[in-house]
Each structure stands twice: as structure tokens, then as C-alpha cells.
């Protein structure tokens, strides 16, 4: 059966349009509730959200859905996605739900589901829940309808947990850190955790109003952070996205440091201390060839998956790895979290900076990336990649790059966009082949 609701990262779309409506959210609550109501214990779901205006509507609809099938609901208010994963496991809940569209702007929203172990649901589990969306829910009897309550200490619990990812002898005294929370879910917890560990914290993106999430701030719009770091003469800048599961870093000169360099640094430090598991790092097909070459010099492997942090996580768990992530900033450190956690990754970077005698600009430049170019082509309808002319151009370009670089083409899982990426040692060739593929896709679309 085709998947109408679930994409690469839960359910996502424009609010009050297509699948992302209150009616859908209630049906998801009922279907997921029916799927997880097993055994004779009192069933429980933890629901968190980011700072979008529509979060109130989606939260209420989900509460109605879950309670109608007999699940008790615990609401945390705005918290990062990894915090919901953590609390689901800590509170022995059957299910965790995060209401967020991650790095998208406020008109979009989404629903991410976590199992009782704090890990995102498998494709198979999501498909079974999707099948239940097309059937009448099994409603609880009147006396077994669930109860809902809001807890007030969730932020403190999460701050305590992420601080425990830092060695007890580490303090951030003397560091000046600019923290950009994208007006999103981490607007209180991330600056608080870093400040409690001793840093002088300058904040950006910590004034959510329901409609400004990711708007000109955060990990997908780092210009404001770059300027602030230079203006404040800070040691480093940290940018989270709307639900704080990804991290992009800015050094003291305002230079961007992406997820590949962050993974390289964390893996190197852990390898030096014999703490790296699996013999390498797991990343996606989008990670730079330079990362792969660098890890090889250390005798480590780079395992590649298709795009999506859930697929990185699946490979990590299957292969016994404890470090993985995406170039876009998802950092999965399985010793400390069950999903991408930008705040945990940020604390690890700051810990390395404290231990290092070098500035961030030197410490974070771990390897030399090869020229890489990514362009997006938006389309209105159809299947542009199935067009014969497009397929012919792709085949020709792959032949041209053979032995010199890579071509990666994929449709976005969350919007009608084709992403075209190429990399290789010849920057001019990379630009030419990307433009050639993009033009072919535009013509077909």
C-alpha cells in the first residue's frame, strides 16, 4: 500500500491543507493509540511540540484522539524533539509524539512518533498505523477514556539529562557563546544548559511568537548568527533548528561549520579515547567525500545510507555504531540520545573547545572538503525523474564523473523538490554537471 500520510520523517505538510489538519491529527491519535494499546497496564503517551501557532490546535486534536481510545496523555509544552524521546523512555510511556515541522517555516507542521524505547518508529510500524487510519477506531468505553495532564518540570529534566553528557570536570568558564534557537523548541533549554555550565551566553532566536520559527534565524539561516558572533567577538556560535534535533556551528570568524566537520571532530576525539564503536561513522549519501577520505586515514569507515536521520539511526543500531549524522546538522550520539540532538552535540563541541588550546576556526576544520554543489528544482506535478530525457542526462553525467566524483539525485520527502548534488575534485566540472541535470529536470517538469 502506498503511504499517503507518512514521509521520511513522520507526517508533515502545510497546516489546514492536505494531510496536516486537526481531523488528521485526531485520527493519528486514535490509530497510533489503537496500535499501542496492548496488555492490561494503563497506557500513556507523551506529547511535546515546538513553538508554531498551529501547535495548540494539533496538540488538542491529538489529545482528543488518544484519550478517546483509552490512552492517558502527558503534555510537556514546547520542548526539543530529543527531549520527547527521552521523556517517553524515562516515564515508561507506550508512545511519544512530537508536533513539529523541524526546519520548515511556521505555516507547516508535522507529527513524529517514538516508540517506548525512545526511538523513532520503523517504516513497518508507521505503515501499520497508516493502515489503521482508513478504518474505524476502536473507541474506549466511557469509564476507560484517557485522562490528560500537563507536567511542569519537563524542561528541567531535559536540561539535567543533556548536562550529564559532559564530563563532570568540564566547565565552560571563559567561553563566550552565541546560541541561536530559531525561535523554536529549545529557546529556553539550550541557553540555560550552556549558561549553567559556566559560559557567557548571548542569545538569538529566543522570542517565539507563533509565526517566527526558523524565520531568518536557526540552522537553515545562519547569517544573523555569523554577524552576531563577529560583532560580539564570541568564541563560537551554535545554531539549532525549530525542533533542535540538528546543529550548525559558526567559528569565531563567522565561518560556517557543517555536520560533516562536526561528525569528524566528535569521531576523532572518541577514537582517540577508544570510545568510538562500530569502527567508523554512519552518514548519508550527501556527506562530503572529504569526510570519507579523512576517516580512512584514521582506519575508520564511513557507512552511507539514504537521506534521513532515521535511516542513519537504523544502520547505527544494526552495526553497533555510536556516532552518526547528516551534513545538514543532525547529530546522533547513541551514548547519550536515541535520536538527533543538537544540544547534546553542541555541548560536546564546547567541551572539545575547552580542552583544546586552539580557536574554533582551527579545531573545527578537521578535513578538507572536496567541491560539492547542491541545487533544488521545484516542480508542480508529475514524476520528472522518470522522464527519458532526464534519465539520459543523468546517465551521461554519471559517466563523466566516474572515478572523479559522485552524483546524488533524490526527491525531497517533505516538499515537491528534486535535490541535485554533485561533488568531485574539479569544482568547474561539478558546477557544470549539476546545472545540466537541473536544466533537464526543469524542462521535464
d(CA 216, CA 111): 23
Predicted pLDDT at 36: 95
Task: Extract the C-alpha cell encoding 394.
Answer: 543523468
Is the fold of 6-152 the same as that of 173-363? Answer: yes
Residues 284-318: tens digit of each pLDDT: 999 999 999 999 999 999 999 998 888 999 999 99
- SS3 call for 322: coil
Number of helices and strands in the chain (H, E): 14, 19
Catalytic residue among 54, 102, 165, 219: 102
Predicted local distance difference test score (pLDDT) of residue 271: 97
Quick one: pLDDT at residue 2? Answer: 55
Q: Which residues contact 64 (CB under 8 A, 6 or more apart)?
A: 26, 29
pLDDT of residue 414: 64
For 381-426, where are the alpha helices, taking DSSP H only?
Answer: 388-401
Count, residues in the chain: 445
φ, ψ dihedrals at 140, nearest 5°: -75, 155
Q: What is the mean pLDDT of residues 265-278?
A: 97
pLDDT at 403: 81
The architecture CATH gives domain 6-152: 3-Layer(aba) Sandwich (3.40)
Mean pLDDT rounded to a whole number for the chain: 95
Q: Where are the domains of the chain?
A: 6-152, 173-363, 372-444
Residue 100 annotated to the active site: no
pLDDT digits (tens, 9 = 90+) for 45-76: 999 999 999 999 999 999 999 999 999 999 99
User: How many CA atoms lie less than 13 Å away from 22 in the CB half-sphere?
Assistant: 10
pLDDT of residue 418 exceeding 90, the answer is yes
pLDDT in tens, 105-123: 999 999 999 999 999 998 8
**What is d(CA 154, CA 156) in angstroms, rounded to the nearest whole number?**
5
The one-character DSSP state at 272 is: H
CA atoms within 13 A on the CB side of 352: 25
Cell numbers that stand for 223 in this block: 547569517
* Residue range 34-45: mean pLDDT, rounded: 92
| Torsional class of 205: left (φ above 0), alpha (ψ -120 to 50), beta (otherwise) | left
Identify whether the C-beta of residue 106 lies closer than 8 Å to the C-beta of residue 325: no
Residue 399, burial from CB neighbour count under 10 angstroms (0-12, 13-18, 19+): exposed
Residue 98 has pLDDT above 70, yes or no: yes
Q: Is domain 372-444 classified as CATH 3.90.230.10?
A: no
**Nine-digit cell at 182?**
530559531
Query: Is pLDDT larger for residue 18 or for residue 192?
Result: 192
* Contact (CB, 8 A) for 397 and 437: yes
What is the reported pLDDT for 39?
83
The stretch 395-405 carries a mean pLDDT of 90
Q: Which helix (H) or strand (E) holds 146?
A: none
Helices (H), 139-196: 154-163, 189-196
Residue 405 has pLDDT above 60, yes or no: yes
Question: According to CATH, what is the number of the domain 173-363?
Answer: 3.40.120.10
Amino acid at each position: 500500500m502506498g503511504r499517503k500520510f507518512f514521509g521520511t520523517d513522520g507526517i508533515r505538510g502545510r497546516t489546514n491543507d492536505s494531510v496536516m489538519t486537526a481531523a488528521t491529527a485526531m485520527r493519528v491519535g486514535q490509530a497510533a493509540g489503537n496500535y499501542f494499546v496492548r496488555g492490561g497496564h494503563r497506557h500513556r503517551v507523551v506529547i511535546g511540540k515546538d513553538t508554531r501557532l498551529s501547535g495548540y490546535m494539533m496538540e488538542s486534536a491529538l489529545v482528543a484522539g488518544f484519550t478517546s481510545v483509552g490512552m492517558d496523555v502527558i503534555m510537556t509544552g514546547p520542548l526539543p524533539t530529543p527531549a520527547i524521546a527521552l521523556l517517553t523512555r524515562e516515564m515508561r510511556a507506550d508512545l511519544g509524539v512530537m508536533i513539529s515541522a523541524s526546519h520548515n517555516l511556521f505555516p507547516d507542521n508535522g507529527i513524529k512518533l517514538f516508540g517506548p524505547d525512545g526511538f523513532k518508529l520503523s517504516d513497518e510500524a508507521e505503515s501499520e498505523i497508516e493502515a489503521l487510519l482508513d478504518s474505524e477506531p476502536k473507541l474506549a468505553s466511557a469509564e476507560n477514556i484517557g485522562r490528560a495532564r500537563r507536567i511542569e518540570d519537563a524542561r528541567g529534566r531535559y536540561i539535567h539529562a543533556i548536562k550529564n553528557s559532559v564530563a563532570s570536570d568540564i566547565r565552560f568558564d571563559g567561553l563566550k557563546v552565541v546560541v541561536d534557537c530559531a525561535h523554536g523548541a529549545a529557546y529556553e533549554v539550550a541557553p540555560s544548559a550552556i549558561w549553567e555550565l559556566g559560559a557567557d551566553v548571548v542569545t538569538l532566536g529566543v522570542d517565539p511568537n507563533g509565526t517566527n520559527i526558523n524565520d531568518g534565524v536557526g540552522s537553515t539561516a545562519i547569517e544573523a548568527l555569523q554577524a552576531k558572533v563577529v560583532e560580539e567577538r564570541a568564541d563560537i556560535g551554535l545554531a539549532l533548528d525549530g525542533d533542535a534535533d540538528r546543529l550548525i556551528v559558526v567559528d569565531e570568524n563567522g565561518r560556517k561549520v557543517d555536520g560533516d566537520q562536526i561528525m569528524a571532530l566528535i569521531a576523532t576525539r572518541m577514537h582517540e579515547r577508544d570510545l568510538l564503536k562500530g569502527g567508523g561513522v554512519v552518514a548519508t549519501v550527501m556527506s562530503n567525500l572529504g569526510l570519507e577520505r579523512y576517516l580512512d586515514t584514521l582506519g575508520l569507515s564511513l557507512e552511507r545510507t539514504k537521506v534521513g536521520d532515521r535511516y542513519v539511526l537504523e544502520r547505527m543500531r544494526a552495526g553497533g555504531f555510536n556516532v552518526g549524522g547528516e551534513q545538514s546538522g543532525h547529530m546522533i550520539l547513541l551514548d547519550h540520545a536515541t535520536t538527533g540532538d543538537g544540544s547534546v552535540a553542541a555541548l560536546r563541541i564546547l567541551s572539545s573547545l575547552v580542552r583544546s588550546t586552539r580557536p574554533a576556526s582551527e579545531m573545527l576544520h578537521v578535513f578538507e572538503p572536496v567541491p560539492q554543489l547542491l541545487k533544488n528544482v521545484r516542480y508542480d506535478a508529475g514524476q520528472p525523474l522518470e522522464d527519458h530525457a532526464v534519465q539520459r542526462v543523468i546517465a551521461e553525467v554519471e559517466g563523466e564523473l566516474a572515478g572523479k566524483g559522485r552524483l546524488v539525485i533524490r526527491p525531497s520527502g517533505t516538499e515537491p523538490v528534486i535535490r541535485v548534488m554533485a561533488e568531485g575534485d574539479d569544482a568547474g566540472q561539478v558546477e557544470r554537471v549539476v546545472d545540466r541535470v537541473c536544466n533537464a529536470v526543469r524542462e521535464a517538469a
